[in-house]
Amino acid sequence: MDGFPVRPLNFEAVSGDRLVWSRTCPEFSVFLNALALHVPYFERYLIVAMRAAREQVAEPGLLRDITAIIGQEAHHSKNFIQVNAALVQRYPGLAAVDAQAKAQFAERAQTDSLKRLVGFTAGYETFTFLAGMIILQNYGKWFADSDPVLKALWVWHQVEEVEHGAVAFEVYHSLYGEHEMYRKWMVVVAACHIAAETFKAYVPMIRREGWTRNPLKGLSRMAFCASMLLRLAAAALPVLRRGYHPRQHPLATSNQNPIQIAWRRYEAEGGDVLAIDHHKMSEIVGAALP
């Protein structure tokens, strides 16, 4: 979580028929697509926030990491906007949801105070950081048999969200550390925003997939979405404690995920990480996977 690089990766554009990308757990792929629809626009908001905050930060190490998170998130946004185009093509009902999220974040980036920009960014990054760790810990359960390009895109995204998971928090602490209750409030605000945006996208997606034709199946799929969001919320409870820091989160201080470690090493040595099938992941981790 220090001195992390910017990796200017450009992933292949995917067609709409590949978007239910996890054969291991199709409902997870739809959930993650729904959660991610508004994320590229938040990432643009984050870039505005970090650029503005950079003018007020003096610590050299934090300035270095601010520059790196801006670079990482710019590449995330670029690649996921490409995915959004395919999502809107497959799910026509998402066009309005996508446009609304884009407009809302663009407006707030221009009108929010610096404290709100940095506070909301720190609150929101709480969940991208936690999601990164949870998703990579459950790779076998959710990713094992999935589209190679979308698997590669998500592994890259989660690795980098963990890498820069402390930056927005540290920027907020540097500028507004005495306002601890406001930071905690922004965590709650971000959680509500993520949940609302996810449900707005998820419902038209499962309808398009035909999962609501059977009431029991539809209820099961809605319960899956709710359970995933609750899992994120539960993981965020330590964030509300006095003296919290992302580096001390229980998920961060346990053994590092081996896929995360291996992926970073493999990419740094020049390995191709733009498409990851089962064979490639075995090559990355240096061992045969079941």
* Within-domain flag for 20: yes
Beta-bridge partner residues of 22:
146
What are 136-174's pLDDT values in tens digits? Answer: 999 999 998 999 999 999 999 999 999 999 999 999 999
* Within-domain flag for 42: yes
pLDDT of residue 245: 92
The tally of domains found in the chain comes to 1
Q: How far apart are CA 30 and CA 230, in angstroms?
A: 17
* Within-domain flag for 3: no
pLDDT of residue 257: 81
**Res. 26: pLDDT tops 90:** yes
* Within-domain flag for 10: no
* Within-domain flag for 25: yes
At 90, phi and psi to the nearest 5?
-75, -35
What are 217-242's pLDDT values in tens digits? Answer: 999 999 999 999 999 999 999 999 98
146-171 in b/e form (b: 16+ CB < 10 A) is bbbbbbbbbbbbbbbbbbbbbbbbbb
The residue type found at 131 is: A
What are 101-115's pLDDT values in tens digits? Answer: 999 999 999 999 999
* Within-domain flag for 9: no
pLDDT of residue 288: 64
**Res. 214: pLDDT tops 80:** yes
pLDDT of residue 290: 63
Average pLDDT over residues 247-267: 85
pLDDT of residue 29: 96
pLDDT of residue 289: 67
How many helical (H) and strand (E) elements, i.e. helices and strands, does the chain have?
13, 0
**Res. 1: pLDDT tops 80:** no
* Within-domain flag for 6: no
Interacting residues of 187 by C-beta distance below 8 A, sequence separation 6+: 122, 123, 126, 236, 239, 240
Average pLDDT over residues 63-70: 97
pLDDT of residue 102: 97
pLDDT of residue 8: 95
Q: How far apart are CA 145 and CA 32, in angstroms?
A: 16
* Within-domain flag for 4: no
pLDDT of residue 62: 96
**Res. 254: pLDDT tops 80:** no
pLDDT of residue 255: 65
Contact 126, 190 (CB under 8 A): yes
Write down the mean pLDDT value for the chain: 94
What are 88-140's pLDDT values in tens digits? Answer: 999 988 999 999 999 999 999 999 999 999 999 999 999 999 999 999 999 99
* Domain housing 91: 16-285
